[in-house]
């Protein structure tokens, strides 16, 4: 099918997998102008929220005999691609743009399992896409046309920032940084609250302070253009309490080294999922 919406979104789309990420993207697309009457969702066990969204907006949920759409978005678990591929292959026609958010699954993996697919874009969004504040890294396969890349950009930017990378191998680094990154931030808030409790604060007070601190710092970082390093230096008085804490966090085996190790582990696991 050809054509697109005024917002640059595909004229027709099928989403495969409507879990937290797929559901967040679908909500963003519909809000951005995607035609619900030409949108389908395939999910063998949709949540009540997805069932309600599809019913309210007129999106076809598990249509009986869907035809190949302009865009086919894959948001299932990467381990499920092999089993799902035979049913998905007829939906990936020569004019179909396949947008995959499957961690580790390369363009070659996808083209092997969906041999008629005309073009493939790999993308790695993250959970804040559910509130329109996502960060997505994307790579366009060599057969992706300018129009298809624009359609993918419109889809992905509906839920936040999009950064394109020229080397597909960098998608694994994106996965380790921004794809898994929200969990690192949540762990930081969790650890701060627990440390506050051990310092004598009531649990509810410590949790509220930690949550507000992380959220506020993130909002401050987002509000301006200054690098994180500059903001860190601005709030660190020489010889003060923050400097004493950072001396611990930034020591040789401190937070930067732990994050390097953690991201390397995530990147390695993403590469393993290509098999």
**What is the pLDDT, as a whole number, of residue 181?**
96
151 and 243, same domain (yes or no): no
Domain that holds residue 252: 181-272
Domain end call among 137, 159, 175: 175
Claim to verify: residue 146 and residue 44 sit in the same structural domain: yes
Q: Please report the pLDDT score of residue 1 as a whole number.
A: 39
Within 98-227, where are the H helices? 107-113, 146-157, 170-174, 181-198, 203-223
pLDDT at 104: 87
CATH of the domain at 30: 3.40.50.720
pLDDT beneath 70, residues of the chain: 1-7, 275
Inside any domain, residue 254 = yes
Instruction: Report pTM.
Output: 0.87
What is the Cα–Cα distance from 165 to 27, expressed in whole angstroms?
A: 25
Q: Domain holding 209: CATH number?
A: 1.10.3730.10
Tell me, yes or no, whether 136 and 188 share the same domain. no
Say if residue 26 is in the same domain as residue 105. yes
Q: How many domains does the chain have?
A: 2
65: region left, alpha or beta (phi > 0 left; psi from -120 to 50 alpha): beta
Q: What is the per-residue pLDDT for 7?
A: 65
For position 4, what pLDDT does the model report? 54
- Predicted local distance difference test score (pLDDT) of residue 136: 96
1 in a domain, yes or no?
A: no
Let me know: does 154 contact 70? Beta carbons within 8 Å: no
What is the pLDDT at residue 2? Answer: 45
The whole-number pLDDT of residue 275 equals 64
Residue whose C-alpha is closest to residue 39's, from 47, 48, 31, 30: 30
Cα distance from N-terminal residue to C-terminal residue, the chain: 32
Q: Does residue 3 fall inside a structural domain?
A: no
Question: Are 223 and 156 found together in one domain?
Answer: no
Give me 215's structure tokens.
Answer: 């959220």
């Amino acid at each position: 099918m050809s054509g697109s919406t005024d917002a640059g979104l595909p004229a027709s789309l099928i989403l495969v997998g409507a879990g937290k990420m797929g559901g967040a993207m679908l909500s963003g697309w519909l809000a951005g102008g995607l035609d619900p009457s030409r949108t389908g969702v395939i999910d063998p066990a949709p949540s009540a929220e997805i069932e309600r969204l599809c019913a309210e907006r007129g999106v076809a949920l598990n249509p009986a005999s869907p035809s190949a759409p302009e865009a086919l978005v894959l948001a299932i678990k990467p381990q499920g691609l092999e089993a799902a591929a035979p049913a998905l292959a007829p939906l990936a026609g020569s004019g179909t743009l396949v947008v995959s958010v499957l961690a580790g699954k390369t363009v070659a993996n996808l083209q092997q399992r969906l041999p008629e697919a005309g073009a493939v874009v790999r993308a790695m969004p993250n959970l804040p896409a559910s509130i329109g504040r996502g960060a997505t890294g994307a790579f366009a396969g060599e057969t992706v046309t300018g129009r298809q890349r624009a359609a993918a950009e419109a889809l992905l930017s509906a839920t936040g920032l999009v950064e394109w990378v020229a080397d597909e191998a960098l998608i694994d680094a994106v996965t380790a940084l921004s794809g898994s990154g929200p969990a690192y931030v949540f762990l930081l808030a969790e650890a701060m609250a627990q440390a506050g409790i051990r310092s004598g604060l009531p649990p509810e007070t410590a949790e509220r302070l930690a949550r507000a601190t992380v959220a506020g710092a993130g909002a401050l970082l987002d509000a301006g253009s200054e690098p994180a390093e500059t903001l860190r230096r601005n709030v660190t008085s020489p010889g003060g309490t923050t400097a004493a804490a950072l001396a611990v966090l930034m020591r040789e085996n401190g937070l930067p080294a732990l994050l390097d190790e953690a991201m390397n582990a995530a990147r390695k696991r993403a590469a393993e999922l290509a098999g």
